[in-house]
Amino acid sequence: MEVNIGNDPALIRLAQGIRYQVFTCEQRIPAELDLDGLDEESFHALATERGEPIATARLTLKEDKSSTLARVAVSQAYRSTGVASAVVQALMQHAQEIGATSIELHAHSHLKGYYEKFGFEFIKEVEIVGEHQLIEMRRQLAHA
């Protein structure tokens, strides 16, 4: 497995393809909610296996140097294999490298324990998307 980070149009299209399959087809979240206009200004992690895209996530850096981790999606055949963790860790490292001060995310509530393993802290319950209750979590980043 290989994880690349970038924001070129070809990488974004591959990431959107995984997200469409996971969010729109499987989770029945309307595509309009996924395609929020932030893809072009964000960094995308794309995991591939033998050249095939299998997982993605997105990091958006804000003007105040905080960042948002979003759109974590893994193709069904690769779930529970550690690929999501590899993608999240790659973007956490990238956030550190580009000088982000914190990472915020909105995750399905059942993933609270998963993100706590990465040092994220629960903040509050937020919106319901589709039929999924989301929670807000945040991790502060240390800078040397």
> Which residues contact residue 2 at a Cβ distance below 8 angstroms, ignoring those fewer than 6 apart?
47, 48, 49
Alpha carbon distances (Å) from 36 to 47, 93, 98, 113:
22, 24, 23, 27
> Is 82 contained in some domain?
yes
Query: Per-residue pLDDT for 144 more than 70?
Result: no
Res 87: pLDDT: 97
Res 121: pLDDT: 97
Give the model confidence (pLDDT) of 85-141 as tens digits.
Answer: 999 999 999 999 999 999 999 998 999 999 999 999 999 999 887 778 899 999 999
Question: Domain of 53: which CATH number?
Answer: 3.40.630.30
Q: Against a cut of 0.75, is the pTM above it?
A: yes
- Sheet of 2-6: strands edge to edge? 2-6, 43-49, 52-61, 66-74, 102-108, 132-140, 121-129
pLDDT band at 29 (very low <50, low <70, confident <90, very high): confident
> Is 135 contained in some domain?
no
> Is 6 contained in some domain?
yes
| H-run or E-run covering 57 | strand 52-61
Q: What residues make up the domain containing 10? A: 2-101
pLDDT band at 26 (very low <50, low <70, confident <90, very high): very high
Q: Domain total for the chain?
A: 1
> Is 23 contained in some domain?
yes
> Is 89 contained in some domain?
yes
